[in-house]
Structure 1
Amino acid sequence: MGETITQIPTEVLLLGVGIIFLIFLILLITLWVKLNKLRKSYKMMLNGDRDADIEQILIRMQEKGNTQEDQMAKIEHTLQQMQERMRGMKSNIQILRYNAFAESGSDLSFSIAILDDSQSGVILSGIHNREQTYVYAKPVEQGLSPYALSPEEKEAITRCVLKS
């Protein structure tokens, strides 16, 4: 059971340590070059601001985000107000021309319905005969008027509602 231990010559040992040292030196230089590239990229990310702190940049970005959220809420509120105003605008208009007196004339009489989205507004009617034209205005609330509506006025309102 005799074991023999062989000794490595000193020159070989020093050569092995030198090679390992050389490998570590090459690895160190490679990592140093990569670190410098990373540092340059980091500075470029910060737009060259040497005193910039990532934490401060993130805080500023968060503040800008909050400001934009507030502005967005104001814009949405304004948009809702505008939509409400537009619903109340008398933007639905329909004109119906007709001959009020079948025995003479042509389609010179008219009824104009001017309504909003809730079918409220006014209806204007002009009844034309040989000597003159009579113009009438009647208020309309939800498609109905407190005054009697002619069939032509009702048709103008119906057409206006169907158009919108």
Structure 2
Amino acid sequence: MKNIIGIINGFQVYIIAALAVLVIILFIMLMVTLKSLSKLENKYRRFMRGVDNKNLEELIVGYLDKVDEAKAEAEYMKKLYENLNLKLKECIQKVSIIRYRAFEDVGSDLSFSIALLDDSNSGVIVTGIYGRNESTTYAKPIDRGISRYDLSQEEQHVLQECINKVLS
């Protein structure tokens, strides 16, 4: 036993220095832990703000209900958008117009042809022929880019121009 006490006395300075280093390391670890605990406490306080006397489970269920309502509303909007998109395909989307002189003895380009087509290239061509003594306006239906009536050169031109328009 005296040998062990003698060895300890011989290394007493080293043992005290080692213990001092160990205490410093433990103190640093304690400071880091306290800082982490402080951050965690701040996060907890932020998380629990506005809760007052409410049950946390009720609060989370309330938020989940709101999320479900938002999902249902988004689905409704998606269906509404799809219906609107289908209706839009049937609306006039492409328009083309050409003015021309139908008769040589009439000045200016007062005659015209207008093509009004939807997404499937169905619609109408409206033509107005201006003459010195009379003017005539008529329409020809277009079904998928084809007219069952004969088209004049100007009407064919305005129809092709309208069909070739690219929608963005």
Would the TM-score normalized by the shorter structure come out above 0.5? yes
1:78 equivalenced with 2:80 (yes/no): yes
1:43-67 per-residue CA deviation (whole Å, 9 max, x = no partner) reads: 3322242323433333222222221
TM-score (norm 2): 0.71
The separation in 2 between residues aligned to 1:34 and 1:50, in whole angstroms, is: 25
The separation in 1 between residues aligned to 2:39 and 2:154, in whole angstroms, is: 83
Query: Could you say which residue in structure 2 is the equivalent of 1:15?
Result: none
Equivalent pair of 1:46/1:52 in contact (CA under 8 Å):
no
Aligned length in residues: 151
The correspondence of residues 128-143 of structure 1 with structure 2, limited to 5 A, is 128-143=130-145
Equivalent pair of 1:43/1:49 in contact (CA under 8 Å):
no
1:112 equivalenced with 2:114 (yes/no): yes
Other structure's SS at 1:84 match? helix
1:56-102 per-residue CA deviation (whole Å, 9 max, x = no partner) reads: 33322222222111111111111111111111111311111111123
TM-score (norm 1): 0.72
1:146 equivalenced with 2:148 (yes/no): yes
Distance change (3 Å), C-alpha of 1:111 and 1:50: same
Alignment-mate amino acid for residue 87 of structure 2: R
1:163 equivalenced with 2:129 (yes/no): no
The separation in 2 between residues aligned to 1:91 and 1:120, in whole angstroms, is: 10
The separation in 1 between residues aligned to 2:103 and 2:148, in whole angstroms, is: 25
C-alpha displacement of 1:127: 1.3
Give % identity.
30
> RMSD between aligned alpha carbons?
3.4
Query: Could you say which residue in structure 2 is the equivalent of 1:43?
Result: 45
C-alpha displacement of 1:153: 0.8
Other structure's SS at 2:53 match? coil
Of stretches 70-79 and 104-113 in structure 1, the one that deviates more from structure 2 is 104-113
The separation in 2 between residues aligned to 1:40 and 1:94, in whole angstroms, is: 66
The separation in 2 between residues aligned to 1:98 and 1:33, in whole angstroms, is: 85
The separation in 2 between residues aligned to 1:83 and 1:139, in whole angstroms, is: 23
- Structure 2 runs not aligned, ≥5 long: 6-22
Other structure's SS at 2:164 match? helix
